[in-house]
Amino acid sequence: MKYLESTIDDMLSYCKNFRRNLIEGRKRTAAHQKKNLILDDRYGGYYKIIDPDKNNGTPVYRGSFEKDPEVQKVAAYHYFDSALEIVEENIRLLEKCKEEIRDIDPNVFLETMPKAYQKQADFVFDMMGVPDIDNWMNMPRRYSERFPEDKKYLTKQKWMVRSKSEVMWSNAYYDRGIPCLYEAVQPVNGINIATDFRALETFQYEELSHEHFGKMDDLEYVTTQFLPKLKAYLKAGFIPGVNLIMTFEFGDTPLTPEVIQATLDHYYGKQ
């Protein structure tokens, strides 16, 4: 629910900023509010302007939109006015939605239902397509056995990982309560890749793969690690920024807690 509330807040903020701009634009073009436009295709895209205060409301032919400043100003006012109505309605609906959102504790929710519905077999949830988080975390999987001697750093999950950056990412996933795996092997385009982190986005129950590339100013690393992995992911249909999170470090731009929090905010919702 926090993810949903955060998304609605972001949309409200965008709409309210947009509304302010529309109101300002409408003020600047207010002198044209009584006028209207009619596009007359018979004249190759020329416009008529109807001004009730002039010519007894008889439409006056004007030039094309591109060449006639008066046409542009009238069109601008009506754009601001019409768009403002839509934005106001969107804000009203979003605020109503936010007011009516309720956190759902599955245990409390079931207690409000008749007893016949309070205890459901696991297959019910399987049919809903909702994975059990504990089962997802503990499913039998293969994990990377490559260069175990390089795993020198301990995380809060009691994992041994390969770098201080991976410790930072791992601990951040743990602190957020995001179900996560480290170097779980998955087939990608016929190649088994031990993805750095594989996490479960629990709002839509989607798995996201996360590769952190920490030596991007090292040409050998780029050519032997980054490019082959990227090629395999792309061929397998992964979309960077959608179901594949890619993060990078350079010598002069090391990983920071701010970058980590911003990344997790983007993919998993703000805390």
Instruction: Report the first-to-last Cα separation within the chain, whole angstroms.
Output: 11
Nearest one of 115, 121, 28 to 76, comparing CA atoms: 28
- Tell me the average confidence (pLDDT) per consecutive run of 10 residues in the chain, 271 residues long: 70 88 88 77 69 77 78 83 89 84 62 68 61 76 88 94 95 94 86 89 83 92 91 87 92 92 90 71
Here the tokens at position 18 are 């947009």
Q: How far is CA 107 from the centre of its chain?
A: 29
Alpha carbon separation from 172 to 115, 139, 151, 165 (Å, rounded): 39, 22, 18, 11
Q: How far is CA 82 from the centre of its chain?
A: 28
d(CA 40, CA 20): 33
Q: What is the pLDDT of residue 212?
A: 96
Q: Which residues pair with 209 in a beta bridge?
A: 198, 244
Nearest one of 155, 147, 150, 221 to 182, comparing CA atoms: 155
Q: What is the pLDDT of residue 42?
A: 60
Please report, for the chain, the start and end positions of each structural domain, with discontinuous segments joined by +: 2-100, 129-268
d(CA 187, CA 151): 22
Q: How far is CA 135 from the centre of its chain?
A: 26
Domain 129-268 bears CATH identifier 3.30.2310: no
Q: What is the pLDDT of residue 118?
A: 63
